[in-house]
Structure 1
């Protein structure tokens, strides 16, 4: 085993541990907080964490073993199961992020009717679609014998047939459909939804700025430093909104696009993917499982409040007072610019 393979093993192990611990914290927050459980977006976050935990305990360890052994870590049956899990969890994760973006778009664009538009029945219907969608694309390669161990990615996944094989063309069509209906679809939904959220957030910021400036002009005796601080805070709020949208979309593109582009590139007969790059692109996909809890939940006020409450109970301290810390739905009420702005 060379230094490169050892480093890859350590990276995968670190990602798996970080993913498992952070996503378990999300589940604990969900279980301990009635406030989080009562909110519709918690369903999407719960599904996302569930997929990430399975990835951390099933697919990531198998890839680490594939790197360590330099070949298929288990038998054919288990490899088929791992291939199914790999495709299902990756697709389900992407679609769950798209569902979260739709929820926040509805919360911002239709704040007054959000509770009637995003009920639990609709949330479960959206999750039902993500599961059926993921199951269909995960089962197809297993049934068509396209699932096997790939040395390029050091994992059991969808494997390209030989270019002279009659199944090469159907495989090419399936691969294009898979990534088009998962990555491309989810990215399009994320961009459209969050850019609309940003547009509405900036509109509200601008409206607040006009009111604030008019108020400051009326208060002619106010100290100039106070006026400057108010205007500076409004500017920071607009910047925070932009940064958060960039994190949502940027982390998705950074983690998934190298792997998707690599899988599409290898469809070209003359292209041979370097196995080191293939494994690295797979690690980038895994890293999203470690990022998601912080991007979508743990850094938010309600989850921090739940974590503090759990810590206090473990340490035997008084419950964390919720007065002055009440907040709206887990959509973070971005229309009020509290978590988007």
Structure 2
């Protein structure tokens, strides 16, 4: 996530007035800064509350303890942590146009930023794989997507994201070949990641292109199978109707996930590559906008994977009415047992 603070306005001041080599800080009207704080704070609050509700619902109700929902639970944890430990500091950096928290914490923050973002992306990818087996190979779904397999999915998402992110930030391989540019633009109060051409392409490919391609291919396959099965079960109205409804719901959910993922993340990853080949000309304000667009994916995830499911709405109602504090509330049936075999 590249962010180099260069004065782009005649009205500038230093981030640290009494420190030599301080970054410039572009001044904005107080009204604009206030509006930015309100908007970003609201985004953070929705991200935290939405994902916390998903975490509580899936953790509390035993009926929801399934491999699929464990993936969604882990995704909600990723997005919650992004909203709790990354977005607040990014908000201050975006509004104030300065980093006030020190160089070491800048690297830690940048590492967690990339880690949570990539982990979120890979969770979405694994959820797409889960949906693929549920719709395209339902007879072997339970043997293919077991709790142990999902645990492996979750572990891979977290470990890969952690190793990749901290390696990229702390090893500084991304800076090879652009040392002169870094030295020329170095200043106190700047916190952002900058990539050379090779690293920019690598991050874009493994963080966006590959997961996006996997999700898109699976989405196309699901629609293909749904269309084929529509013809196969056309003579059995009840089977055809139930199966078609299930497939359409899974395909619709996956389609929304894929669309939101591409809409939120592609601009940032594309700019990371283009910026490296264009001498880092993206304005700071524009790049901040791309960062927060990517963050918003974590805001939308609980809406997509939560509010699209009837059982989630029922669980949310139980939380709001404080019925979860009643004895044996974890055993409440959120849907009929006859629907347990359905892939929601």
**TM-score, with normalisation over the residues of structure 1?**
0.77
Q: How far has the Cα of 1:141 moved from its partner?
A: 2.8
Partner of 2:55: 27
Q: How far has the Cα of 1:234 moved from its partner?
A: 11
Partner of 1:182: 207
Tell me the distance in 1 between the aligned counterparts of 2:106 and 2:250. 43
Determine helix, strand or coil for the equivalent of 1:112: helix
Alpha-carbon spacing, 1:188–1:262, altered in 2? closer, same or farther (3 Å): same
- Check the 8 A contact 1:205/1:238 in 2, yes or no: no
Alpha-carbon spacing, 1:322–1:282, altered in 2? closer, same or farther (3 Å): closer
Partner of 1:10: 38
Post-superposition Cα deviations, 1:240-298, rounded to whole Å, max 9, x if no partner, equal 66643431211111110111111111101445002221111111111111110121233
Alpha-carbon spacing, 1:182–1:155, altered in 2? closer, same or farther (3 Å): farther
1:273 to 282, 289, 306: 282
Tell me the distance in 2 between the aligned counterparts of 1:136 and 1:315. 40
Tell me the distance in 2 between the aligned counterparts of 1:260 and 1:94. 12
Partner of 1:287: 296
Determine helix, strand or coil for the equivalent of 1:266: helix
Tell me the distance in 1 between the aligned counterparts of 2:190 and 2:81. 15
Within a 5 Å distance, the mapping from 1:67-216 to structure 2 comes to 67-145=94-172, 156-160=191-195, 171-212=196-237
Determine helix, strand or coil for the equivalent of 1:158: coil
Partner of 1:62: 89
For structure 1, which runs of at least 5 residues remain unmatched after alignment? Answer: 161-170, 214-229, 334-338
- Check the 8 A contact 1:198/1:241 in 2, yes or no: no
**TM-score, with normalisation over the residues of structure 2?**
0.77
- Check the 8 A contact 1:94/1:182 in 2, yes or no: yes
Tell me the distance in 2 between the aligned counterparts of 1:234 and 1:88. 38
Tell me the distance in 1 between the aligned counterparts of 2:36 and 2:190. 13
Q: Report the aligned-residue RMSD.
A: 3.3
For structure 2, which runs of at least 5 residues remain unmatched after alignment? Answer: 1-27, 176-181
Tell me the distance in 2 between the aligned counterparts of 1:108 and 1:288. 25
Determine helix, strand or coil for the equivalent of 2:339: coil
Alpha-carbon spacing, 1:157–1:125, altered in 2? closer, same or farther (3 Å): farther
- Check the 8 A contact 2:112/2:165 in 1, yes or no: yes
Partner of 1:303: 312
